[in-house]
Amino acid sequence: MRLRCLRRFWQNGESLAYVKEQLGHSSISMTVDTYGHLVPGANREAMDRLPTEEEAAKEEAAKIG
């Protein structure tokens, strides 16, 4: 039952903060450590948000001036 609710929350796009509260966890880390493996594609999505090496180098060069 708990896992079914958790999957529904994530399928509906609920935030980790909301899921944490609903599950009664003391921290988001606890929620992710316990159930993070159940979020399909989460690792790929996180990686896709990271800048490419070229973008990161350009951002760094812009900071330096």
- Strand, helix or coil at 24? coil
**Calpha distance 42→6 (Å, rounded):** 14
- Strand, helix or coil at 59? helix
Determine the pLDDT at residue 40: 64
Q: What is the pLDDT of residues 26-64, one digit of tens each?
A: 988 888 888 877 776 666 666 677 777 788 888 888 888
Show the DSSP H helices in the chain as ranges. Answer: 2-11, 16-23, 28-35, 42-49, 53-64
pTM: 0.53
